[in-house]
Amino acid sequence: MKKTLALLTDLAFLIALISVSGSAAFLAKPAPPPPQGMVNLVQGRAYSVMPLVSVKYSFASSEAKYHLADALTDGKIGSSNSFKDGQWQGYDHGGARSVVIDMGHVNTVRQLQERFIQDRGAGVHFPREVTYALSMNGKDWAVVGTVGSKMPLTSQAVATQTYAVSGIDYQAKYVRMTFTVDDWVLADEFQVFGNPGIAAGATVPKTTSPVAYHDEYLPPGSPKVGGIKNMVLIYNGYYPSKPAVGQNTVDELTPYVGYETKSGRINDFMFDGFLFLPFVAAGAPSGGMYYCSTAHPTVMSDWVYYLDNTFGTSYNLGALNTATGNVKEILNDPSYKVKVEIAIPYPSTTATNFGDVNVDGISENLSLLSDRENVIKWYVDQVMKRWKAADYANLQLVGFYWYEEGADFSVDDSEASMLSYAGKYVRSLGKVLTWIPYYQASGFAEWDSLGFDAAIMQPNYVFDKFPEKELGEAAAACKKLGMGVELEIHWDATKDSEYRAKYYAYLTYGVTRNYMKGAVHAYYQNGEPGTFYESCESKDPAIRAIYDQTYRFIKGTYTPYVSKKDIEKQ
């Protein structure tokens, strides 16, 4: 999984902001004046800013450097061609931000607006939408308008735009602006125009039902994820320097299907779900990448190669079928089947000569949404056709996995439409579409409305320089949004005790934050053939313990020593 790639835009943003400390050199401009007969009801007033999910232990430290006290209501706006003047206020991840202002008394609100800047080269994006709401008491809110970006999120030009709702005539004491934050969003002035006090004819807007969040993890065994409880990631496909790495064998897959004791005896089942997905770094035979890469798109022959590899008879799916048959015979459970999901590669828009999937003599041009949909349908149909022909006695295909780990709104203007199509088509075949976004990836908070049946979020603690408490933050976000939790083990965990400790932290938080038993899990590991296999086969007790402790976690019996004081700190 390309967890480290998620940091590139953050790095670009930080590099671009090196000169912000000298912001006093920039001359701030006065904000736009109110329309005739109105005043700015919030200028100079204090405000509060809240993220949709916490960023305290992840992104807050980076964004705190770019906050100027009260800058959103100081009557000044930032530069139109640079966000480095100190007036532009930065917000990093979190899904969204809500800015709330108490105006002190009831006023008549007629127009609300906020200005944003986009600089894609630095990882700064326009919000996809801004929602304005009013309230008389700060608790019951009425949404009075939602404004989408009028400029393409894919534009490379540095530009600004104002998101405004006008032509209203409402009474309110509190105002709220909520804007999506997929990566970095910068805003410079929240303006509320109207008249002090209650003007003749001004009404109180009707309260809108608040957004209802799940407030519980995606439960293990949920139909939304095809009944899976614990799904291990099995990397396969193109690996040019060592082809066997992409060909998981019966011997290699057996310890994943069944729990293998230190003496080599199978005495229980292990993972009940298997996700087959391509290697990230290796890419595809053509040189393309299976994830979203405008510079290196894949073509039809790459997708066929991956299908051929996945449906190997003596390795990958064929080997998993054999391994499962062997294990269930040992355990005397003839009806047992493991559940399988298969990744759908990303159809990058720059593949303008993808290949002829419809056999109509016309190669698909993936700059067109209709052709991307054709490719998704063709691929899913190919999987279904091959699965039926293979007639696996010990495997159940429950769904598909969307391989790209973020919703690429800034790369493809029709991203949401494409994801919606993929979900609908997969469901039309009686299967589910699962997503495993990296930590707070673009679109993560809207996984269900985007078209996915289930989402399992990566905390990324083992890969990023987050403090351990970020695992609690990630758990809270997953629970609020109805997601499962991914357990991640670093490929050096078999060599480095620090990485082993980080992995056990995931398991410990699973106990203290109740996702060990309360959530569906995915398990990230490397290939070759995987860290859990290596730990199973190891004679080193410290390394072997990785496998044994994972088994206990799967069975809900993992019991780390955690003091009451430590739990309170979490």
Query: What pLDDT was estimated at residue 568?
Result: 44
3-state SS string over 356-373?
Answer: CCCCCCCCCCCCCHHHHH
Secondary structure tally for the chain: helices H, strands E: 14, 21
Q: What is the DSSP string of 63-111?
A: HGGG--TTGGGSSEE--SS-S-SS-SEEEESSEEEEEEEEEEEEEEEEE
Distance (Å) of CA 321 to CA 255, 265, 396, 398: 13, 19, 10, 15
Query: What pLDDT was estimated at residue 570?
Result: 40
Of 130, 207, 126, which is closest to residue 174 (Cα–Cα)? 207
* DSSP label of 513: T
DSSP 3-state of 498: helix
Distance (Å) of CA 523 to CA 262, 463, 489, 532: 22, 14, 8, 10
Query: What pLDDT was estimated at residue 84?
Result: 85
Q: What is the mean pLDDT of residues 207-230?
A: 97
* Lowest-confidence pick of 71-80, 302-311, 318-327, 558-567: 558-567
DSSP 3-state of 349: coil
Say what the pTM is.
0.93
Note the pLDDT tens digit of each residue in 71-100. Answer: 999 999 988 888 888 889 999 999 999 999
Gap between the Cα atoms of 310 and 307, Å rounded? 5
Query: What pLDDT was estimated at residue 1?
Result: 52
Query: What pLDDT was estimated at residue 19?
Result: 43
Task: Say which residue the tokens 């920039």 belong to.
Answer: 26
Q: Band of the pLDDT at 561, cuts 50, 70, 90?
A: low
Q: Which CATH number does 3-195 carry?
A: 2.60.120.260
Q: Which CATH number does 223-560 carry?
A: 3.20.20
Distance (Å) of CA 9 to CA 6, 122, 342, 410, 511: 7, 7, 29, 12, 33
Task: State the angle between helix axes of 317-330 and 250-257 in degrees (0 to 180), rounded to the nearest 10.
Answer: 50
Determine what percent of the chain is predicted with pLDDT higher than 90: 90
- Whether 308 has a pLDDT exceeding 90, the answer reads yes
Domain map (residue ranges) of the chain: 3-195, 223-560
Q: Are strands 273-278 and 338-344 parallel, antiparallel or unpaired?
A: parallel
Q: What is the pLDDT of the chain when averaged over all its residues?
A: 93
